[in-house]
Amino acid sequence: MKITVVGAGNVGAAVAQRLADKELGNEVVMVDVIEGMPQGKGLDMYESGPVEGSDSRVIGTNSYEDTANSDIVVITAGIARKPGMSRDDLQTTNAGIVKSVTEQVAAKSPKAYLIVVSNPLDVMTYVAMKVSGFERSRVMGMAGILDTARFRTFISMELKVSIEDVTAFVLGGHGDSMVPLPRYSTVAGIPLPELMDQATIDRLVKRTRDGGIEIVNFLKTGSAYYAPSAAAVQMVEAIVKDKKRILPCAVYLQGEYGIKDVVVGVPIKIGKNGMEEIIQIKLTPDEQAALNKSANDVKANMAKLSL
Q: Which residues are catalytic?
A: 174
CA dist., res. 178 & res. 294, Å (int): 6
Ranges of beta strands (E only) in the chain are 2-6, 27-31, 57-61, 72-75, 113-116, 139-141, 166-167, 170-171, 179-180, 186-187, 190-191, 245-254, 260-271, 274-278
Q: Where are the alpha helices (DSSP H) in 75-135?
A: 91-108, 121-132
CA dist., res. 96 & res. 152, Å (int): 34
Residue 232's closest CA among 29, 2, 22, 12? 12
Q: Within a 13 Å sphere around the CA of 81, how many CA atoms are in the beta-carbon half?
A: 25
